Structure 1
Amino acid sequence: MKSTNIIKPIYLLSLLLTSFFGVSQPSIGEEGFSVIREAYSYDKTLPLHISTKDPVEFVAYFRTELHFTGVNEKVGAYLAIPKSGEGPFPVVLLIDGMGGSKERWFMGDNWPNGLETVEALVGKGFAVFSIDAALHGERFDTTGVFPQPLSLRKENLMYTVRDMIRQTVQDYMRGLDYLETRNDINTKAIGVYGLSMGGTVAFILTGLDERIKMAATGVAVVYGNEYSLVNAYNFTTRIKTKPVLMIMGDKDGYYTPESATQLFNSIGGKKKKLIMFEGAHKVPASYIPTIADWFAKDLLQF
């Protein structure tokens, strides 16, 4: 008779010692995934200690800057609420790529097409919520211990990348805990849109957290092998009923069209769509209406 008390530490050791960055890999079995799920657990009873600034008015929305207690540090966030329509509003989590920030979603003509995306979603009646990922934005390490986020791969600090992604996932879960305290947010209608590293975070959140009802990802990067805590395949295979949109470039240096298609095929459900555009590691702004329509099709029905 096998002892799970022995098996789980062995699995956990393999998760922590595995090589990190690599090509697409098959997903782990259910016993191993139970260890991965446990690794993303956190203390939901930990007080959020929310602090907010006065909302700032923009043409189509009010944006509130706030801070809450994440897994082990204060996390900065923006929440934008539409000026028109009646709440509670469905909400889309926005997750930038490596080197990004919550600010980039409110700046125009940049890599994530931030402001254009926010305005399109708000125009459809969505609130939007974004945090600074671990080691990003106002959470960037100023002690000199860690380099700029974009240098982590160059310096082969892939365990740091793993821990950064894992903490960001947990902090978005804490952000969901915060959204559940608000009367103006419909927490039965939550979507997530992530780019590059943010696409990985989006897959993990969608595979782990039942509060996420659908997802869209752009130029998502696959990290690690089948035992990795942040291998997207461990989560896509477990997305059974939630709609997922993938937008990928056919000349992206981080993956091939074949591996992108393999990742898409690994998504467990049938409500999915793959768009392969001509280009590299940046989703063209022309796809913003497609992304907004994708969320509107389902989330506005809740």
Structure 2
Amino acid sequence: MSYLIVLPHIQVENANAISGLTYGFPAITHFLGFTHALSRNVQRSHGLSFNGCGVVCHKHQVQAHRASERGDYYFSLTRIPLTKEAKTAPFNEEGRMHMTVTLFIECEGSILHGDAGARELEQHLQSLCVTQRLAGGTVTSMKPVRVMTLPQNGDELQNITRREMYRALPGFALVDRSELLAQHVAERRAQDPQVEMIDAWLDFSTITYRAGQQEEGSAQWQYQPKPAKGYLVPLMVGFTPISPLYAAGDVARTRDTTSPFRFVEAAYGVGEWRSPHRVTDIHQLIWRYSVSTEHYICSHAKPLQEADLTEQDHSDF
């Protein structure tokens, strides 16, 4: 049986704001990792498993500053003590942010004792979530957890989706639109076969102007629209391998010496921040791990279809 668990308005301090080549919001792998940590706990205590997670962001504040009004932004870093030689100690730059998010978790299993069991699970998760780290940040507070039955389709599913999405306002839901990246890469390579994937990916985030030649010889700069309309952002969506799969214990100094090991690098896609009241099916919001022999990618359990978009959704940002 399927259930929907809502963790509303989780306030997180000093979460990781850097995700591979992108910054400004944690990667979706952070939220699925948080879900997996909760799942391992409730699997032992309640016999339940969490299969996916949807994210709605209500507030975010990147800890950054700039020296002048037109200058570049810099992360506000923690002061590191000097070394014994009174020199600045080497350290990795950390981008931090505060955020408030609501998580929608898909749960599989059977909750015993009906409503009483559901209320007991809510109390268990309420106390468990504040002891976990989310995207490396500290959970400072959250509103009461809600547990409800999740139908797969029909009017009841639409009613639950509508009610929960309106409760998530104001905020923006993060949905996967990586199919737009694949489409844009194909279009650019049809014009120029030498175009690199990263160039097509950056088209979704860069602001581009192109000079147009005028009759009198002067140039006029014209804004070049993004590859697609909507609040689209570059996104880290998982990992892809860069080495063979080594047997357990073959690679020295690994955290887990009992599991096979493989070196990986970040994989990227395109996401869209969408107003929750435009989500028509809660399954379109749920991210899951899509694990194959070669890749470890996060995607939606039910991909967003073009037919789900309205004319307002296509408004240009």
Please classify the TM superposition score into its range, dividing by the shorter chain length.
under 0.3
With normalisation by structure 1, the TM-score equals 0.22
Q: TM-score, normalised by structure 2?
A: 0.21
Q: Is the radius of gyration larger for structure 1 or structure 2?
A: 2
Greater fraction of residues in helix: 1
Structure with greater strand percent: 2
Q: Which has the higher contact order (CA 8 A, sep 6+)?
A: 2
